[in-house]
Amino acid sequence: MRIKHTIWVVLLVCLSSLTVCAQNIDLADTFQLEEIVVAGVRKPVTEVAVLPAVNIASEEINLHMGHSLMDALSHTEGVQAMDIGVGFSKPMIRGLGFQRVVVSDNGVKQEGQQWGADHGLEIDAFHVDGVVVIKGPASVLYGSDAMGGAIEILPPIIPYQDTLSGEILFQHQSVCSGLSGSAMLAIKHKRVYSQIRYTERHWGDYRVPADSFTYLSMRLPIPDRHLKNTAGMERSGNCLLTFRNKRYEGRLNISDNYQKAGFFSGAHGIPNNSNMQSDGDKWNIDLPYSLVNHLKVSSTNKWTSEKTQMMFVMAYQKNHREEWSKFHTHVIGQQAPAVDPDKELMLDLQTISAKLQFRYTPSDLWEHYAGISTSFQNNEIGGYSFLIPAYRREEYGAYYLVNYKPSDVWAFNASARYDISHIHTEAHGQDVGEVERDYHDYSLAVGAVFSPKDGHEWRGSIGRAYRLPSANELTSNGVHHGAFRHELGDSTLVGEQGWQADLSYSLRKKRVDMSISPFFSYYPHFISLHPTGQWSMLPDAGQIYQYVDAPATFFGGEARVKVKLVRDLHYEFSGEYVHTYDHDSHTATPFSPPATMRNTISWERKRWQAYAECQSVATQTRVCHNEDDTPGYNLLNVGGKVEFPVSPGKISLHVNARNILNTYHLNHLNFYRKIDLPEAGVDIQSTIRFTF
């Protein structure tokens, strides 16, 4: 059966998994016993590992929410937001990003165009209740793509009692005149819990503290300091249905995210004084622009007994992306298509995935996990331009993990995983041939936790991780506008491999909370883009960059200290540093994050909260070929919230002002850095939220 017809099969399987179990229950069973059995359902799978992990509550996410979820998560030491233009960003952990960081949403890995420099996360930030960030290799738990870490978005907390609850919020963002609204309604009735949310966001052209930018040594103006054609919109719908009975819990999640956003004229094609002039409308979305739609349907089923638990997860995802730009030739003699002549690129990725996991707890000392997983992908392409070919990919994995806790002081952990993958890419024109490759590799890890009763805790682990090459690394051959270069794959690449060691220490006392987490990684095979010294024959392409395999070393660490000064006043310091080294080129790897630290004073009392933060970013001089040094900067951010009780709930007001001194600064992790385009100036974000 072709993959594009399988959505109906997946929907039937998801619904039947709930229906079959409902038909076999005894309705006379008491409701209280049922709730006791399923206590702790929000426990993430990461709690069985010994890697450094950070829990981020919804309150903290709401307080630091920017235009995307990554704006909030980037306040966590060791986590960086790789900006991919204006309004969108993707995660980076300890200098590793793209396919090396997994985003897991309600137990399902988000499958989109993770490799793309200009592809963000198609996730509704207002629908996130809590996040766990794993800093370090998580391949055993999440598969090949978690070589650098994982971001696990937790499912919502299900209330104990029958209740009707909801939320309505409105948000305004000054830097782009952005307006957002979101509404959620949830009902808990006996064994059934349902939740639905709808979100809509609109924003205009972004403002920057600059009058001009540089493109290929040309200095071009930014009229009125507005980036022309950076307006956009987003619509998201999420639906959750949960059923519980005795020792069974079933969840059905359906989400759909749609985005449309313009490309800054200076970042797509060849800009000039004419097309940079303002059109008088900061809200319109003109050519060039992108369309993205991500549909996800997942079913999670758990059966729990006194010593065992079985979990089965099945999901279907469809990620559809289009880029539209006035037709321009990339091949000599190329003619405009008869249909949709301005559709430059189309990528349509469909994924079916499944996971079966068993947990066995024979005693308080031992806990065993074993599981198998599989995924099937089919990617179709279209448009008059070419970057990657159509491809099919299959992955099969098996893993085992054991926890041993001989006392309250010591705990030990060991795990192993083996994966097999097959990828088949189709030929395209004369320059891209058919590629069919098989990969297989393993990951393993051992670790220990030492937790004396005086507030100290030590964690350490060492392991081997891997990553299977992606289609773009094997077979890309075209202009990647979001990255300003011609990218060329290498079909002979082997999988990435690396040995990694982590150590963390934390101290929690009444007035002091601190942690430090050094790490070291060595990759005998590390895939990255390197300039070839040859200029592309394609227009607006510049130099050819090719994916190469070379040894690389990463090391660094994070530190955090929070001290209670007096009563409700706190001081917090956090810092991070990553050193990368490519052994072949003798330079840093691309997009190595600069050292960063934050000094924050916060005040909390009952319904009030306020903070002032100084973010300091060091000058980045350790760069890869064709990367420019990026000067350091200091930003001042302030914010706070206040809550008002109203019947039958509460109203909260959040105000978050970023870069209040309107400082001109360049982000080394922003793809617009290459054209000297600065980050946004002062941005005041206000959110009013009513919950009941």
Picking from 91-100, 223-232, 429-438, 473-482, which range would have the lowest pLDDT averaged per residue?
473-482
Q: Which pLDDT tens digit goes with each residue over 161-177?
A: 899 999 999 999 999 99
Q: What's residue 531's pLDDT?
A: 79
C-beta separation of 322 from 346 below 8 A:
yes
Q: Is 271 left (phi over 0), alpha (psi -120 to 50) or beta?
A: beta
C-beta separation of 170 from 687 below 8 A:
yes
Mean pLDDT of 317-331: 86
Q: What's residue 432's pLDDT?
A: 84
CA distances from 365 to 238, 362, 380, 402, 411 (A): 40, 8, 49, 10, 9
Contacts 24+ apart (CB under 8 A), 270-277: 270/215, 270/539, 270/540, 271/215, 271/220, 272/220, 273/220, 273/221, 276/220, 276/221, 276/222, 276/223, 276/228, 277/223, 277/228
Query: What total of structural domains would you count in the chain?
Result: 1
C-beta separation of 475 from 489 below 8 A:
yes
Confidence at 16, pLDDT banded by 50, 70, 90: very low
Confidence at 252, pLDDT banded by 50, 70, 90: very high
Domain hosting 384: range is 3-691
Q: Is the pLDDT of residue 143 over 90?
A: no
Q: Which of 60 and 469 is assigned the larger pLDDT?
A: 469
Confidence at 594, pLDDT banded by 50, 70, 90: very high
Question: Mapping DSSP to helix (H, G, I), strand (E, B) and coil, where does residue 561 land?
Answer: strand
CA–CA gap between residue 540 and residue 558 (Å, rounded): 40
Tokens of 137: 């290799």
Q: What residues have CB less than 8 Å from 443, skipping those under 6 apart?
A: 137, 139, 140, 416, 417, 463, 464, 465, 466
Q: Which pLDDT tens digit goes with each residue over 63-119?
A: 777 677 887 888 888 888 877 666 677 888 999 988 898 899 888 999 988 776 666
Mean pLDDT of the chain: 85
Mean pLDDT of 17-40: 36
Confidence at 44, pLDDT banded by 50, 70, 90: low
Q: What's residue 98's pLDDT?
A: 83
Confidence at 540, pLDDT banded by 50, 70, 90: low
The structure's pTM equals 0.88
Q: What is the CATH number of the domain that holds 541?
A: 2.40.170.20
Type of residue at 343: K
Q: What residues have CB less than 8 Å from 628, skipping those under 6 apart?
A: 673, 674
Picking from 58-72, 626-640, 651-665, which range would have the lowest pLDDT averaged per residue?
58-72
Q: What residues have CB less than 8 Å from 552, skipping those under 6 apart?
A: 522, 523, 526, 528, 580, 581, 582, 583, 589
Q: What's residue 266's pLDDT?
A: 67
Q: What's residue 49's pLDDT?
A: 54
Confidence at 15, pLDDT banded by 50, 70, 90: very low
